[in-house]
Amino acid sequence: MDKCPKCGMLKDLCVCEILDKQGVSKIKVYTTKKKFKKLVTIVEGIDKAQLDQTSRELKHKLACGGTAKDGVIILQGDHKRRTAEVLKQLGYLQETIEVS
């Protein structure tokens, strides 16, 4: 049987991932201009343990390219509105998502 490295419970019973998504940290979603006046969407505040998986899901559901580095997810294009909806579908609380 596999055990969770965080809490020590069995993987089937572990709720660490759900609790991490419902944490008290704020998630900021905003756009900025990068090279050649291209818009990119920035997502800050995702837990580093969840960063790669959340990045992969966002890129897949929004059909765009992007990267996850330095604790930030960078998505190519203007996806502010849809990013909040996708994060909500992934289990993050609506109250913790701030779109500006």
Residue 18 lies inside a defined structural domain of this protein: no
Provide the edge-to-edge strand list for the sheet that holds 27-33: 66-69, 72-76, 39-44, 27-33, 97-99
Indicate the number of domains in the chain.
1
Token readout for 79 is 């996806």
- CATH number of the domain bearing residue 72: 3.30.780.10
| Per-residue pLDDT tens digits for 32-87 | 998 898 999 999 988 888 889 999 999 999 999 999 999 899 999 999 999 999 99
Residue 1 lies inside a defined structural domain of this protein: no
pLDDT at 67: 95
Distance, in Å, from the CA atom of 100 to the CA atom of 97, rounded to the nearest integer, reads 10
Distance, in Å, from the CA atom of 2 to the CA atom of 22, rounded to the nearest integer, reads 24
Residue 4 lies inside a defined structural domain of this protein: no
Structural domain including 29 reads: 23-99
Q: β-pairing, 39-44 with 27-33?
A: antiparallel
Token readout for 16 is 């660490």
Residue 60 lies inside a defined structural domain of this protein: yes
pTM: 0.76
| Per-residue pLDDT tens digits for 19-29 | 666 665 789 99
